[in-house]
Structures are given as structure tokens and as C-alpha cells.
Amino acid sequence: MKQFKLHFILVWLMLSATSFAQSGTIGSLSWSIDEGTLIISGNGVMPDNQKNIPWKPYTNSIKKVVIENGVTTIGAEAFLFCGKLTSIIIPESVTSIGMSAFNRCKKLSSVEIPNSVTNIGANAFLLCESLTSISIPSNVTNIGSSAFAYCSNLTSINVNSGNAAYSSENGVLYNKNKTTLIRCPEGKTGSYVIPNSVTIINTWAFDNCKGLTSITIPISVTNIGEQVFSNCSGLTSITIPNSVTSIGKWAFADCWRLTAINIPNSIVNIGEGAFSNCSNLTSFKIPDLVTSIEYNTFGRCRKLTSVAIHNFVTNIGISAFESCENLTAITIPSSITNIERDAFRSCSNLTTVNFNAENCIVMGSCSRPVFWGCNKLKFLNIGSNVVKIPDYAFCGCSSLTSVTGAESVKDIGKSAFNGCINLLFNNLLEKVIYAVWEQTMKDNKLSRYHEFIESYPRSKYVSEVKQRIEEIENQRLTLTLFEAIEKKYVLFSAWGKNIESSNIEIKNVSELNLNLTIPLGTYLGANSNSYQNMILTKAQNIVLDAENTVKSTVSTACMNMYRSIPKSSNDFGITQLPDNDLRTKVIKELNRGNYSFRIIQAAIWIVTDNASYEAMGTLKNNDGTRVINNQDYTAASAIVNRARNTE
């Protein structure tokens, strides 16, 4: 009973600690906290860095801060995450408010910055969601980036008229001459006309101004920078003059109420993600001088029904039109030379593609195709001047049934129609496929035959190709990797990858088609004593055509736990361990069950290093916890004991 009472008292004291006065020093200053009020006194600077802030343990209980006269700076991150702070008194002795000083003080509703302050650091009042207005005194010469960002209720930033560096108009922050618009407060609502004096709009100037419905940009502006209007979710109208030549990255991202935007033909560049997630945008005309549609430019513009790509555009970037769910048809002009992976991914209502690109490279693959998830794409029209259909161009278009045009096509690239299981080729394309088939038969390689079937699954030549594959398979020589090395059929190399796998390359230098087995217990010896040797934990079969090369990753475990884990720069030799070697026996025993890698690795280290449970504690997860726990070690020990008892 006494023990219980003592425990209760200790817990109560810990929970109630903030109701008692606490005090200490920070640099040359003193501090004390009592009943939610933090008082800082003394002479000199307040040190930076939240890690060194002694009142950090009381962050969640600080409601008021009083900085007494004599303190000259407010340190970086001094009151970061003081979420209950409502009041701050700053004396005339303070000259600088450090970076992120009041970051995330979400209940701070007002702050009076004294005339002595010359510097307001970056992110100083970031996410102070209760601030409604802020006054910049006359002596401030520097305001860091995002100093007042994400202050969602801030309606005005007012600068003293005597300030030589900054000015304000209607609550918006400018430089002194009003040539640069620095920051519009996020709580501003309605329409806003940018003054004619402005030539530069700062990065993020209107970011997250959700209450603005329309913005007019003057003819004096030539560039719309990165994220200038991002997340202006209330914006329904914006006027961009002919003077503007560039729209930066993510400039209008998440402006999801925009239904239309008039882009002048003066625009030369549109940055990546510029209109991403403008989910109500219905149409768009690419300006005549723009030559590249960058990464995610129109990603998730879900109501976009049409986009006009002119004949000077050469590039369509990664995910450029991803998830444009109402796009039903797209024309790829003849000027396009490059289409990146996922360009039209998940355009779920796209039914028709007009492909006119005459000299195009598709940067996708069959694992990340250009039209991935376009499950309604049925009709493909190939332009009259197209000579080659690029590699992987329509890979995975399982609903594609019709190809028209293609009068000039003489070559169909690798896996161009892989997975188009419902496609029937027209007579023109069948002639081209015949030429591919003829060359495939001449090459007489298994990989080429499989590639043909994948690319043209509905071709009339498929049955003959399948028959040839069967003939080759029946002629294939089956042997172990070690036998193939001994007979000099193959060249082998291996190098490190990570703790549980290794990279291998096998080059067939013979004219034979091989079916190779890499047996359990294959030993990969590191060419440096500083790195661990590896042992194969799962057998692997490799199908290797004559004069071909295969690169693969094999499952391995580390040996010699006190050495470093091999890297890609570390090479291995290869040895076949005898069946009666305990390491081989353990691997075979492990393959009788479905064991985790932790147990596999523990078992190997028990054999190779006689490693104890404590020794294996050096292998840590990113959060500092053990990788191999006691249960893993116990299971591994049992497996090793069983292996020792096998004949």
C-alpha cells in the first residue's frame, strides 16, 4: 500500500510539474516559467537552435512570454510549437527576430514589433493561424522568406511609412518602390488588382490565399514564378497580360475552382505542375511558343475535356496529363520527339488517340507505359507520315481494338503493342509485322520469339512462333551454373547490393540455349577482407539463350557479421560449398520452412561467427530498435541444431 501511494505521488508530481516555477539560464540570459508565463531577462543575445532551448519541455504549457529590456535578439526556433501561446511582449532592446521564432504558435492573435527590430527571419511567424494583422516598424531592413506564410486569418500586413526598405498597400507587402510584390496575406478576400508599378511577383506571393476570387496582373510583369498562386482554391478568374513570357513550377497548382484560363501567346515556358489539380479546368490551348509540356503540368485536371497541342511542341513529360479523367481524345502532333512514362496515365475515359509523331521516342516501358490505366482506349489512328511506331508506344492498352491509317509505317518498335490482347491489325500493319516475324525467325533466339508474342498477341504468326519456342525448349541444355562455368559456356560476375540480396550477371558465350540452376548454398566470396561474404538462400533458375546476357538479383545472406555489408562496388568470386558443409545444411533446413530474413540471417551468423544474441544487437532498424529479436534468435538456434544433426 505504501509503495502504491509513493508511486501515485511521483506520477502526480510529474504531471503537475508545469504548475510549479521552473528556471535556468540560456547563454547570458535567465529564464523562469510559472503558471504558463515565461519570463526571459538579462543582457545580450538569445542563442539559436531549438535543441538548446531550455524551456522546450514546457512548450505545450506556455501561454504568455515576457521578454525584458536588455535582451537583444529572439533566437531561431525560440518558441517553435508553443501552440498555446497567446501573448508576447517584446522590448525596445530587441533588434532581431530569428528564423522560425514563433513558427506554429497557432493561438498567437497579436504581436507588437518594436521600432528597434531590423530583422525578421524566415518562417518567423509561419502557421500563426490566429494572427489577423501585423505591423512592420520603420527600422526593419530584412524580412525573410515565408515570414508570414500560412497565417490563414492574416488580412493585412501594414508597413510604417518611414520604412526605407518596405511598403504596403491595402494590406499587401511590397518593397519600398512597390516594384516587387512580396506577400499577400492569406486572409485577404475578393478581387485583387496588382498595381502597375509591380514588375516582380515573389515566389509564393499569393500561395494559399484561398479567399481571393480574381486577380489582375499588370502589363509590367513578365514572369509568374514558382508557386505564386498555388492553392488559391477560391480563385475563379485571373487575367494574364501579353507581357508575361514564363509560368513557373506549380504556379497555379490546386486552384481547383478555375474553370478556364486565358493564356496569352507570349508564353514561352510553362513549368512542371503549373496547373496540377486544377480539377475544374475544362479546356486548355498550349501557347504557340511553348515547346515542352513538363512533368505533371495538367495532372489531375479531372474535368479537362480538350487540350490543343500545336505542331511546335516536342516533349510530353512524365505524368503530364495523368488522371485527366474526362479527356476523351488526344492528338499527338508530328513535332513530338519524346513522350515520357505515365504521360496519359489513368485518363480513364480516353477512347481515341491520333498519333502523328514522325520521329518519336517513347521513354516508358511495359511496367510504366504511356497510357497506363486508359482502360477505354479503343481507337488508334496512325498519321500518314509516320514511318515507325515507337518502342512501348501503346503497351498495355488492353481495350485497343482498332488501328487505322499507318500507310507509311515500315517498322513497329519493341513491345509497341504488348498486352493489346483485343487488337486486330489492319492489312498495312500485318505487312510490317510479317517483316518483323521474318527477322525474328532468322535470329532464332528464344528472347526474340517471346518478345514477338508479347508485342503482337493477335497476329496470325503467333502459332508458328509458339511452335518454334517449343522446339527450342526441347533442345535446351539443363545444367548447374558451376557445370556451365567449368565447360566455359558462360562468364559469371557478382557484386554487392544489400544485406539480403546480391547482383549477378551471366553471359552465355556459347551457341547453346541453356537452362541454368544456381544451387542452394552457393558461396559468394568478397574480393576484400573488409566486406562480408554472401551465401545463396534460395535456388534460382536462369533461362539463357545463346550469346545472350542475363542480369538478375539473387537472395543471399551475409556471413562474417563483423565485416561491412557489401556495396555495388564490391565484387565476388563464386564457389560451390560441399553438401556436408554446415552452412549448406543450414540453408537447406531453412528452405524447408517459410522463415523471415531475420531468422535466416541469424542462423547464418550463428554458424559463421558463433554469434550470440547480444552480438546481433549491433544490427539496428532506422529507429534504433533491434532487427533480430529474441524470438528470431531462438528459432535460428533451433534450425542450426537440427542442421547439425542431419547426415
- For 122-159, the pLDDT digits (tens) are 999 999 999 999 999 999 999 999 999 999 999 999 99
Q: How many CB atoms lie within 10 A of CB 541?
A: 9
Is the Cβ–Cβ distance between 408 and 382 less than 8 Å?
no
Closest CA to 562 of 639, 625, 619: 619
pLDDT tens-digit map of 477-514: 899 999 999 989 999 999 999 989 999 999 999 878 89
- Looking at the predicted structure, is the pLDDT value of residue 201 above 70? yes
Whether 428 shows a pLDDT value over 80: the answer reads no
DSSP secondary structure code for residue 46 in this structure: P
Record: fold of 17-154: 3.80.10
| Lowest-confidence pick of 215-219, 246-250, 327-331, 497-501 | 497-501
Task: Give the amino acid at 259.
Answer: T
Amino acid at 643: A
Rounded to whole angstroms, the Cα distance separating 35 from 487 reads 84
Least confident of 119-133, 338-352, 462-476: 462-476
Confirm if 266 and 244 have CB atoms less than 8 A apart.
yes
C-alpha cell at 558: 551475409
The pLDDT assigned to 560 comes to 86
The confidence score (pLDDT) of residue 430 equals 78
Rounded to an integer, the average pLDDT of 302-327 is: 95
**Of 311-320, 362-371, 632-641, minimum mean pLDDT range:** 362-371
d(CA 201, CA 173): 11
Mean pLDDT computed over every residue of the chain: 90
Check for a shared fold between 17-154 and 304-423: yes
Beta pairing class for 73-74 and 490-498: unpaired
Q: Is 134 exposed, middle or buried (0-12, 13-18, 19+ CB in 10 A)?
A: buried
The verdict on domain 304-423 having CATH code 3.80.10.10 is yes
Contacts of 283 (CB under 8 A, 6+ apart): 260, 304, 305, 306, 307
User: Which of 194, 237, 236 shows the shortest CA–CA distance to 219?
Assistant: 194
The pLDDT of residue 50 is above 70: no
pLDDT at 569 over 90: no
Residue 7 pLDDT: 44
Q: What confidence category does residue 21 fall into, taking pLDDT thresholds of 50, 70 and 90?
A: low
The region of weakest confidence among 110-119, 186-195, 435-444 is 435-444
Q: Quote the percentage of the chain above a pLDDT of 90.
A: 68
Of 371 and 617, more confident: 371
In this structure, are strands 490-498 and 501-508 parallel, antiparallel, or unpaired?
Answer: antiparallel
- Residue 5: which pLDDT band, with cuts at 50, 70 and 90? very low
Indicate the helix (H) or strand (E) that contains 6: helix 2-15
- How confident is the model at residue 313, as a pLDDT? 97
pTM metric for this prediction: 0.69
Confidence of residue 8 (pLDDT cuts 50, 70, 90): very low
Confidence of residue 454 (pLDDT cuts 50, 70, 90): confident
Domain boundaries, the chain: 17-154, 304-423, 433-474, 476-577, 580-647
Predicted local confidence at residue 367, as pLDDT: 77
Residue 647's pLDDT is 66
The pLDDT of residue 215 is 96
* Count of CA atoms in the C-beta half-sphere (13 A) of 568: 1
Q: What is the pLDDT of residue 3?
A: 47
User: Across residues 570-579, what is the average pLDDT?
Assistant: 91
**pLDDT tens-place string over residues 268-312:** 999 999 999 999 999 999 999 999 999 999 999 999 999 999 999
Helix (H) or strand (E) holding 588: helix 582-590
**β-strand 180-183 against 200-201: which pairing, if any?**
parallel
Indicate whether 1 pLDDT > 60: no
Q: What is the DSSP string of 201-251?
A: E-TTTTTT-TTEEEEE--TT--EE-TTSSTT-TT--EEE--TT--EE-TTT
17 confidence band (pLDDT: 50, 70, 90):
very low
At 9, is the pLDDT very low, low, confident or very high (cuts 50, 70, 90)?
very low
